[in-house]
Chains A and B, each alone.
Chain A
Amino acid sequence: MVKSALFLIRIFRVPIEMTGVNYRQFEILLKMKLTADFRNGTGAFRNHTSKRNSFIYQSLTYALFGAMLGSDDI
């Protein structure tokens, strides 16, 4: 599931890189954060019925905040 989330985020690679983010570093941080959360069962992963949707939302939220915090302008 982590792989599919990363695949989805990769669509936004160009705009993310345009903010000055090193995409490789951004992706590995996102990958490890999602992996740890998935194993821990925290955040969006507590509710098993909507697990997949929650996972996508969480991935997008992390990606958005990561891009904002990692950009050169901030």
Chain B
Amino acid sequence: MENPLITIKGLRKSYSKGKTRSEVLKGIDLTIYPGQIIGYIGPNGAGKSTTVKILCGIIPDFEGEIKICGHDLRSQSNEIKKRIGYVPETGAIYDLLTPNEYFELIGTLYGLDINTIRSRSSRFLDLFDMGKNSDQRMDTFSKGMKQKILLIAGLINNPDIIFLDEPLSGLDANSVILVKEILSRLAKDGKTIFYCSHLMDVVEKISDRIIIINNGLVIAEGRFEDLRNEKSATLEKLFAELTGREEKTIETEALFNS
């Protein structure tokens, strides 16, 4: 069997605010293999973004053991960062810069030469129909346009693992289709995609393994076909069933009936 690309053992993370301490992740264990598209889903506050930020090295203090590409995340995070791409939901983009300047910044930090940066970014910009905007300041861009820039920046170093945290946020329908195509193509090329979302239909279509978390714990994982049972024909229903949304539906009914 292939060596795992990501191994997570007993991942815990808690935040303190004053005297209160809330545990966001309560012991996550995961093994991810190369070439998989992982759909990582859960309700708001389940710990999805925290997991992704820990895996990308953005949150350095956590409990547990994480190995990515054979490197320990605590001691070799720079080696890991060279091989990953991260697309945040709403990134702090430097919007006084132009896309070309922004890609030059990101690409140079990854150690790419300027010609590689220019050729990769122009291909992606053309794909997203944004070639004409390459030298415009990004403070005039819409949310969707900025999200496309973040997507390109996440892919510019040709990473082995791509972490996407709600990447379709603010994108129009055509761009959503395009991103889905790009993700499928990347997976075919052997890239591992860690896709974090609450858009069930997209996760259901593109993921070949689904992980559902709730209250900081993995409550289900596997292929959608394996997770599905008679009651849950769609991922949305399965998700509602596992995360307790069905009870809320009854409560909503009761509220309006009263």
Contacts and interface: CB of A to CB of B under 8 A. Distances in A.
Interface of B: 94, 96-97, 101, 104-105, 108-109, 111, 137
24 contacts: A24-B108, A24-B111, A25-B108, A25-B109, A28-B104, A28-B105, A28-B108, A28-B109, A29-B105, A29-B109, A32-B94, A32-B97, A32-B101, A32-B104, A32-B105, A35-B96, A35-B97, A35-B101, A36-B94, A36-B96, A36-B97, A39-B96, A39-B137, A40-B96
Interface string A42-67: 00000000000000000000000000
Nearest to B107: A28
A29 B137 CA distance: 18
A35 B138 CA distance: 13
A49 B49 CA distance: 47
Nearest to B95: A36
B241 to A, nearest CB: 48
Nearest to B102: A32
Contacts of B104: 28, 32
Nearest to B109: A25
A16 to B, nearest CB: 16
Interface of A: 24-25, 28-29, 32, 35-36, 39-40
A60 to B, nearest CB: 21
Contacts of B105: 28-29, 32
A41 to B, nearest CB: 10
A31 B104 CA distance: 11
Given A28-B105, A36-B97, 20 more contacts: A24-B108, A24-B111, A25-B108, A25-B109, A28-B108, A28-B109, A29-B109, A32-B94, A32-B97, A32-B101, A32-B104, A32-B105, A35-B96, A35-B97, A35-B101, A36-B94, A36-B96, A39-B96, A39-B137, A40-B96
A35 B97 CA distance: 7
Contacts of A32: 94, 97, 101, 104-105
Contacts of B111: 24
Contacts of A25: 108-109
B83 to A, nearest CB: 17
Most buried by A among B94, B97, B108: B108
A40 to B, nearest CB: 6
A22 to B, nearest CB: 9
Contacts of A36: 94, 96-97
Contacts of B94: 32, 36
A41 B83 CA distance: 36
Contacts of A39: 96, 137
A24 B108 CA distance: 7
A35 to B, nearest CB: 6
Contacts of A35: 96-97, 101
A36 B109 CA distance: 17
Nearest to A39: B96
A43 B87 CA distance: 30
Nearest to A32: B105
